[in-house]
Amino acid sequence: MPRLKTIEWGDNSVRIIDQTLLPARLSYCKIDSITATYDAIKTLKIRGAPAIGVAGAYGLYLGMADFPEDRSVTDFLIYLDKNVRYLDSSRPTAVNLSWALQRLRTKAKEISAGKTILQIKQALLEEAHAIFEEDRTNCRKIGENGFELIKEYHTILTHCNAGGLATTEYGTALAPLYIGTERGRIFSVYADETRPLLQGARITAFELNEAGIPVTVICDSMAASVIAAGKVDAIIVGADRIAANGDTANKIGTYSLALVAREHKIPFFVAAPLSTFDTAIPSGNDIPIEEREPGEITDGFGKRTVPDGVAVYNPAFDITPYRYISAIITEKGIILPPFETGISRLTAEN
């Protein structure tokens, strides 16, 4: 259903949509080095937890592709570790990046005995392709599973962008809407604009509009009033990291939506692949929250909107405690409260 190619491999490089230019321009850029990957992730040319996992995997391969093949495998693995740490530092909150990088690292270590550097490089690229393909399949499954939850609903509110442009194709939070649309259901969506970087207004509205799904943009501060007026049947958001107890890090502003949903007795769903779960950490208290540049708030639109000399605080994510979440939609099924059990079971199977 979504026709936009968020990320594609070809010609020994990655082609991505430069999302900082949306909605004014649908423009692609070519990434052919690990430093360009770091930059693209850091500056949000590519963003969305699953998409930066895929981009990170390809970027790590690109960082290793030129490693001299006459050197030792040990040196190769040391350099790989260094590159993993480098790329992983581009964005701290979404665990998918770290998960993808570790997956390539583990692959390299597992197969390194008796293999040439060329063969290990090839295995890294194949692993990156596998992550890409799994993301496509998993998001489609999230869509199918999520559709079962929302098929009786009409109007869905979402925050930030957890759509096709946050993944390889179907998205997470928006996947159930795409699947439903393929099956002839008509949904309409309220998209929070999502300050400071307006991923909702710029990206979610763009991709839903491209797909012919009616969307209305509101400011983040308007969601509560729209929900209080009875205009929203359910909220679905994505996630950047989910702790073992279900506490969920997602774009700043998610937590207050969850409070409003509970107050007005509408369901609040989180949609995410299993790669977003971090069962090594017990609760949201342990999730690192990225703090970004004040300029995103003070000069986000080309004109200074905060007086000089005034302090600004710009956390990029917040934590929604598990108790406000109605269900978590994954590729392996729906997890219902109490989440700890379901998360433990599904991630163990994975």
Catalytic center residues: 240
- 259 lies in the binding site for its own copies (CB under 8 A): yes
Tokens coding 226: 């729209």
User: Amino acid letter at 303?
Assistant: K
Contact flag: residue 311 with its own copies (CB under 8 A): yes
For residue 302, state whether it binds its own copies (rule: CB under 8 A): yes
Query: Rounded to whole angstroms, what are the CA distances from 173 to 77, 149, 165, 300, 315?
Result: 37, 12, 11, 26, 22
Closer to its own copies by CB, 69 or 291: give it. Answer: 291
- Residue 54 burial (10 A CB sphere; 0-12, 13-18, 19+): buried
Give the residue with the Cβ less far from its own copies, 10 or 309: 309
Among 205, 334, 343, 346, interactor with its own copies by CB under 8 A: 205
Contact 193, 160 (CB under 8 A): no
Among 97, 215, 235, 242, binds its own copies (CB under 8 A): 215
Cα 187 from Cα 181, distance rounded (Å)? 7
Residue type, 266: I
187 touching its own copies, by CB under 8 A: no
> Is there binding between residue 312 and its own copies (CB under 8 A)?
yes
Q: How far apart are CA 302 and CA 340, in angstroms?
A: 45
Span 239-258, contacts to its own copies by CB under 8 A: 252-253, 255-256
Q: How far apart are the first and last CA of the chain?
A: 27
**List 134, 169, 220, 278, residue binding its own copies (CB under 8 A):** 220
Give the β-pairing of 234-237 and 155-158.
parallel
Q: Which of 195, 232, 236, 269 lies at the binding interface for its own copies (CB under 8 A)? A: 195
CA dihedral 303, 306, 312, 316 (to 10 degrees): -40
Using rule CB under 8 A, residue 319 touches its own copies: yes
Residue 219 binds its own copies (CB under 8 A): yes
Task: Select the residue interacting with its own copies from 306, 332, 337, 340 (CB under 8 A).
Answer: 306
Mention every residue, 6+ apart, whose C-beta is less than 8 A from residue 35: none
CB of 339 within 8 A of CB of 284? no
Q: Please, which residue, 11 or 303, has the CB nearer to its own copies?
A: 303
Q: How many CB atoms lie within 10 A of CB 198?
A: 21
Q: Which stretch binds its own copies (CB under 8 A): 3-11, 108-116, 214-222, 233-241?
A: 214-222
Report yes or no: 52 and 93 within 8 Å, Cβ to Cβ: no
Residue 133 one-letter amino acid: E
Q: 45 to 84, contacts with its own copies by CB under 8 A?
A: none
Residue 292 makes contact with its own copies by CB under 8 A: no
Q: Which stretch binds its own copies (CB under 8 A): 76-84, 104-112, 163-171, 189-197?
A: 189-197
Asked if residue 307 binds its own copies (CB under 8 A), the reply is: yes
Candidates 7-15, 116-124, 145-153, 294-302: pick the segment binding its own copies (CB under 8 A): 294-302
Contact between 194 and 274 under an 8 Å Cβ cutoff? The reply is no
The Cα–Cα gap between 222 and 234 comes to 15
| 21 is a contact residue toward its own copies (CB under 8 A) | no
Of positions 31, 117, 162, 201, contacts its own copies by CB under 8 A: 201
- Dist CA 79 CA 146 (whole Å): 41
Residue 24 interacting with its own copies (CB under 8 A): yes
Residue 42: CB minimum distance to its own copies, A: 20
Cα radius of gyration (the chain): 20
Asked if 7 touches its own copies (CB under 8 A), the answer is no
- 221 or 350, CB closer to its own copies? 221
Write out the residues near its own copies by the rule CB under 8 A.
22-24, 190, 192-196, 198, 201-202, 205-206, 209, 214-226, 228, 252-253, 255-256, 259-260, 263, 297-298, 300-315, 318-319
